Amino acid sequence: MENNGINSYHGYAATDLYRVDPRLGTNADYKRLVEKAHCNGLKIIFDHISNHIGIRHPWLKDLPTDTWLNGSTEDHLSDKHYLLSITDPHADPYTEELLHTFWFVDSMPDLNQRDPFLADYLIQNVLWWIEYSGIDGIREDTYPYADQAFLARWAESILHEYPNFNIVGEIWATEPAYIAMFQKNSQLAPTFETNLPCLMDFPLSQALRHYLEGTGKLQDIYRIFAQDFLYTDVDNLLTFFDNHDMARGIFIADKNMRKIQQVLIMLLTTRGIPQILYGTEINMIGGESHIELRADFPGGFPGHNRDAFTETGRTNEENEIFHYLRDLLHLRKTHKALTHGKMIHYPPSFQADVYKYLRIYGDEKVLVMVNGHQGKQLVDLSEVSHWFTSKNKFWNLMTGEQMVLDCQQGIFIEGWGTLILQTRE
């Protein structure tokens, strides 16, 4: 959206809800982008927000109604991130009101979706964008902060018109029970049906990040997956380990390439829809500031002295992770067990932090093993042996090599190592 304001590079301070920011192009350019993407088998996801606008939006000069905003430029609430108030049985009901009415920052006025005219405007606006541009899905920013009854109607209106559409809600909380409540058909929802199909899996993201940092173990990742019974559709969760709002995985892993490879494997061989931040394919390191988080990809921009979109424009280290990730994505695309298979996993022991899980689809079984120690470990496979017979042959999917595997004797895995083994009946 047009963000005609100071420090508005992030795009969340809209000043015209019907116009693409002219720094990026025109509405017609956006429509052509979607069309060309579709010609190449790609889909376009629209990053959207119903919670607030920019302070320079023309509405601020002449509000359509007296209840268009929560508060005013002179008098409004700040810093009331009371997310758990929605489900907290001990919360003062007023705290949820504070959550839905405070301003993120003084330059982004909070919209009051309980105003019926504003609610209609926001719904009609997003339906117009879908119909005009042909986009395939929406990422809805700051999902818990807007009025929940409105968002339920907003999502229902979209999916009524476009049944094959997907909407993912950004619900930045790390408790699976809390975010699961927002998924449609949930029995955990307190008062109404949310109609929201997809959730951002921040609980898994936190577990993966703690593992990269060294403050967490593979046991913590196992515990997140063990709570999947809370969700109504675990395959419609958006999984990730970093994004545009947080330090990159390679940065917090202190450049531990082996750990990054492990997390990429877990991300791409477990349930959900993986999200990979641009630059991950060349291990862009970034930093902690928002300027570093959202730095330009090297190449394709004026003034860049190299082009990392090309093999020759990347360093040897960048090409190593680029080819590794490309091969891993190819495996995900060609082995349905990794995307559609039933997942069966085993608790990592306290002595040996090794995570084992199976993906089973038809006659194909894929066994993934992750070593959470820096030293080589012997992995006990006795508890998975009943899934295999002496006739099974195993292939290392990352190298293509055939392997002999004796489940009773186990297998050694290098420090911070991972194995992806495939077998068929």
Would you please indicate which residues are annotated as catalytic (active-site) residues? 141, 170
Alpha helices in 73-175 (DSSP H): 93-101, 116-133, 148-161
Please choose, from the candidates 270, 150, 281, 295, the residue with its C-alpha nearest in 3D space to the C-alpha of residue 208. 270
| Token duo for residue 42 | 């790609």
Produce one character per residue of 119-146: b if its CB has 16 or more CB atoms within 10 Å, e if not.
bebbbeebbebbeebbbbbbbbbbbbbb
- In b/e form, how buried is each residue of 242-255, taking b as 16+ CB within 10 angstroms? bbeebbbbbbbbee
- For residue 221, give the H/E element and its range: helix 218-225
Strand order in the sheet with 198-200: 45-48, 137-140, 166-169, 198-200, 237-239, 273-274
CA distance 322 to 223: 30
Mode of pairing for the β-strands spanning 137-140 and 45-48 = parallel
Alpha carbon separation from 267 to 74, 251, 270, 336, 338 (Å, rounded)? 46, 18, 6, 15, 10
**Is residue 140 a contact partner of residue 167, using CB atoms and an 8 Å limit?**
yes
Please give the single-letter amino acid code of residue 319: N
- 79 sits in the region (left: phi over 0; alpha: psi -120 to 50; else beta) called left
Q: Rounded to an integer, what distance in angstroms lies between the CA atom of residue 93 and that of residue 85?
A: 8
Phi, psi of 316 (to 5 degrees): -60, -40
- Hey, is 366 helix, strand or coil? strand
Q: Which residue has the tokens 């928002």?
A: 290
> CA-to-CA distance for 374 and 308, rounded, in angstroms?
31
